[in-house]
Structures are given as structure tokens and as C-alpha cells.
Amino acid sequence: MVSGKEFRSSLRKPLPGAPKHKGCRIVPAFTIQALQKGTCVIPPPRCNASKEQPPKPTNFRNNYKRGDFPIALEANGTRISWKADINKLDYHHYLPMFFDGLCETENPFKYFAQQGIHDMLTYGGPKIFPCIPQLIIPIKNALNTKNKTVMCSTLRVLQHLVKSGDMIGEALVPYYRQILPVLNMFKEKNVNCGDGIDYTQMRGENLADIINETLETLERYGGEDAFINIKYLIPTYESCMMN
């Protein structure tokens, strides 16, 4: 049994990083070992919820290497060309495959995925709406990487998706709980450069600004239930329709 004197002495332990006494043993906090003599308690690790998560290998890269996509890079290297009529493609098959490439950070995979998505959304019309449930997981995975470049490109795709057909904005409302929570961590994280110039705003690469633009787009195209669902997940959001 530990006496009161021994217990009080055990609380006076050197802080991590301080000069260690000879024989000081590092032990985890909130354990029985922390009450033992000659030990130094280490603090619990930081949560760091906004830490970037390295993207996992995607199926898009494997499919591209196998030649499963009817696309090729033009001779000038500035855009892609389609080997098949984009209006006749099976959107249920190809659109989720392209969305899976949103996590890509290396070219040519990144370029092919993003350009393929925007082309299919431009010419898809009514073919896009039935594919909405298949696109949620790829969008969620891309946003959860917390890579600012990936998040910016994914949010631009999300804006294009909402505008690409009728009722798509309303169809996304039930999925807000899957795709919006991660945006709450970055919505107010603008670049603080003091008296300097924030060139990311000029290039359209400021993540906080793109998040606000995306939320406003979701509210405009999401119908009457869009705002209350966005507000529930992102309390700092203010309506662009009511103000």
C-alpha cells in the first residue's frame, strides 16, 4: 500500500524534456507505473485532427495502367482525347472509376482523373443523377485525406457535380453527414500572412474560400432542406440565400 508521503512525492516528477535524474524511467500517464518511484510521466499524444493523411493507392491508377479507360493524351500534351463517344459511355461504370482518382496527387493520374470527371459531368446530362450514391464514398475519401490540393480539386468537382443536372443538389442533401464534417475543420483556416500578399486567393487555391463557395453552391441547389442540414454540421456557416 502506498503511503500519503510516497504518493505526494510521486506527483513531483520531472517534466518531459527536463534534465533527467539518473535511473529515471519513462512511463505512460494514467497507469499504476506513474505512482512508482524513479519514473517520469510522458504526456498523452496530441490529437492533431487536421493532420494530412497520406492517400492510399487507388483503383483508378490500376485501371489506367491496364488501359481500361477510353482516353489518351493528345500530341500537344495539353488535353485528353476520348477514344469513344462520351455520350454513349456507361456512366454507372466509368464515372465512379474516375471519381476514385480524386485522391491522386501525381501526374498523369491526377490530370486524367480530374479532366475525365469534368468532361463526363459536362456531357452527362440525365445519366449523372442515377450515379450519385456511387460517388459519395470517393468524394468522402478524397476530402478525408486532408491534403489541401486534393481537397480544393474535390470541392471544385463537387460544385460542378451539383450544377451538372436537375435535382442533383437535392439528391446530395442526405449525404451531407458523410462529406461535410471534415470541412468544418478548415472552413475558418485562412492564410495569415500579415502585411504580405496571399497569392493563393489570386490563383483560386485558398481552401477556406473554396469551402465557403462550395457550401453556398450546395445551399443554392440543395432545395429548402439544404441550409438547415449544412448549419447542423457546420455551425459557423451563414446562409447566402436569407441574408
Q: pLDDT digits over 100-119, tens only?
A: 988 888 888 888 888 889 98
- Could you give the residue range(s) of every CATH 1.25.10 domain in the chain? 59-189+201-233
Instruction: Supply the CATH classification number for the domain 59-189+201-233.
Output: 1.25.10
Q: Angle, to 10 degrees, between the axis of helix 226-233 and the axis of helix 207-221?
A: 150
Q: What pLDDT does 198 receive?
A: 47
Give CA–CA dist 211/217, Å, rounded: 10
Let me know: does 202 contact 166? Beta carbons within 8 Å.
no
Lowest-confidence pick of 20-34, 56-70, 168-182: 20-34
Q: What is d(CA 218, CA 197) in angstroms, rounded to the nearest whole number?
A: 30
For CA atoms 154, 155, 159, 161, the dihedral sign is positive
Number of Cβ within a 10 Å radius of residue 178: 15
Q: Which residue has the cell 443523377?
A: 129
Is residue 199 very low, low, confident or very high in pLDDT (cuts 50, 70, 90)? Answer: very low
Q: Which three cell numbers stand for residue 174?
A: 442526405
**pTM listed for this prediction:** 0.73
In 3D, which of 149, 152, 148, 70 has the Cα closest to residue 112? Answer: 70
For range 59-78, the mean pLDDT: 78
Is it the case that residue 156 has pLDDT exceeding 90? yes
Choose the most confident range, by mean pLDDT, from 13-17, 19-23, 25-29, 87-91.
87-91
> Are the C-beta atoms of residues 79 and 115 closer than 8 Å to each other?
yes
Listed residue (238, 100, 233, 96) closest to 176, CA to CA: 233
Instruction: Give me the pLDDT at residue 19, please.
Output: 42
Span 151-176, average pLDDT? 91
Please answer whether residues 162 and 217 qualify as being in contact, where contact means their C-beta atoms are separated by less than 8 angstroms: yes
How high is the mean pLDDT of the chain? Answer: 79
108 prior amide bond cis, ω within 30: yes
Q: Which of 170, 152, 176 has the alpha carbon at shortest distance from 234?
A: 176
Residue 65 C-alpha from the chain's centroid: 25
Amino acid at 222: G
